[in-house]
Amino acid sequence: MPELPEVEVVRAGLERHVLGATITDVEVLHPRPVRRDVRGPAGFAAALAGRRIEAARRRGKYLWLPLDNGDALLGHLGMSGQLLVQPPEAPAERHLRVRLRLAGGEREVRFVDQRMFGGLSVSAGGAELPPEIAHIARDPLDPELDEDEVVRKVRRRISGIKRQLLDQNLVSGVGNIYADEALWRARIHGERPGDRLTARQVRELLGHARDVMTAALGEGGTSFDALYVNVNGESGYFDRSLHAYGREGEPCERCGTPVRRVAFMNRSSYFCPSCQPAPRRRRVVVPPAPD
């Protein structure tokens, strides 16, 4: 699944390669990826033809291309989606779903998606910020993220800090892997309640999340231009640079204690039981029984 840094790589690549380009023609090869567009495949294509791409923006894992009429082409890569910029003569990818031809005939944008959880739609009036995604919080890589507000919100809640990090309405784009890595770096157990963390701890944790994601961005960024534009969701970062995630039973790089894995929301959490001690149970105060 493409993580946020990879989506940012795609955004930056689109910005480099299709800014100012006019869409001449749209071909929808499979209806499923445009299912969220109420106008259907033909209406989707008609809404894009003749429009100029003004920018490439991102909120969390959503991408959008503001168009010259105030609408936007909104996209999500889902589990297996790719947005490629290809020369028109490049052979069609096996799972090519949507093709956007651009004026000039030198390149086209292709939406390739095997499993089709992702998709594209035209957001009416969505150039500034598509209303469909306005509820999604900013992410740690976003310079406009209000960190003080995130810290305040975290410390007002009793739920575990990892659960909060994954809450897309609080801060977006921190996936399971980045959360585990940031918590390991910050030496905080994922079950620690938000209201038991200091402001400084939360701030440091957000900083670690940003560092981990920036590192992944750096590694993913190099593959983008090499393949003209290509992101396949596997930046290679995950094999080389992980300290906790996926390392069950391997020694913690700080203290040598074997990394543990526990079930977490249908996924797994990896942590060092020494560096990241589990929180004590909240003491429940039971009022004395009336006599």
**Catalytically annotated residue among 57, 59, 61, 153:** 61
Kindly state the smallest distance separating residue 248's Cβ from Zn ion, in Å. Answer: 14
**Catalytically annotated residue among 115, 152, 254, 267:** 267
Kindly state the smallest distance separating residue 265's Cβ from Zn ion, in Å. Answer: 23
Known active-site residue 2: yes
Kindly state the smallest distance separating residue 62's Cβ from Zn ion, in Å. Answer: 36
Known active-site residue 267: yes
Contact in structure between 186 and 204 (CB atoms under 8 Å): yes
Cβ-proximal residue to Zn ion, closest one: 252
Kindly state the smallest distance separating residue 275's Cβ from Zn ion, in Å. Answer: 3
Nearer to Zn ion, 77 or 183 (CB): 183
Cα–Cα separations (whole angstroms), residue 250 to 245, 258, 272, 275: 11, 5, 10, 14
Contact in structure between 45 and 28 (CB atoms under 8 Å): yes
**Nearest Cα to Cα of residue 267 among 192, 163, 187:** 163
Known active-site residue 162: no
Q: Which residues bind Zn ion (CB under 5 A)?
A: 252, 254-255, 257, 272, 274-275
Known active-site residue 61: yes
Question: Which tokens sit at 243?
Answer: 């300290």
Nearer to Zn ion, 128 or 248 (CB): 248
Kindly state the smallest distance separating residue 270's Cβ from Zn ion, in Å. Answer: 12
Nearer to Zn ion, 134 or 262 (CB): 262
Nearer to Zn ion, 201 or 223 (CB): 201
**Catalytically annotated residue among 3, 6, 8, 108:** 3
Q: What's the chain look like in SS3?
A: CCCHHHHHHHHHHHHHHHCCCEEEEEEECCCHHHCCCCCHHHHHHHHHCCCEECCCEEECCEEEEEECCCCEEEEECCCCEEEEEECCCCCCCCCEEEEEEECCCCCEEEEEECCCCCEEEEECCCCCCCHHHCCCCCCCCCCCCCHHHHHHHHHHCCCEHHHHHCCCCCCCCCCHHHHHHHHHHHCCCCCCEHHHCCHHHHHHHHHHHHHHHHHHHHHHHHHHHHCCCCCCCCCCHHHHCCCCCCCCCCECCCCCCECEEEEECCEEEEECCCCCCCCCCCCCCCCCCCC
Nearer to Zn ion, 254 or 282 (CB): 254
Nearer to Zn ion, 165 or 272 (CB): 272
Question: Which tokens sit at 18?
Answer: 């299709």
Q: Which residues are catalytic?
A: 2-3, 61, 267
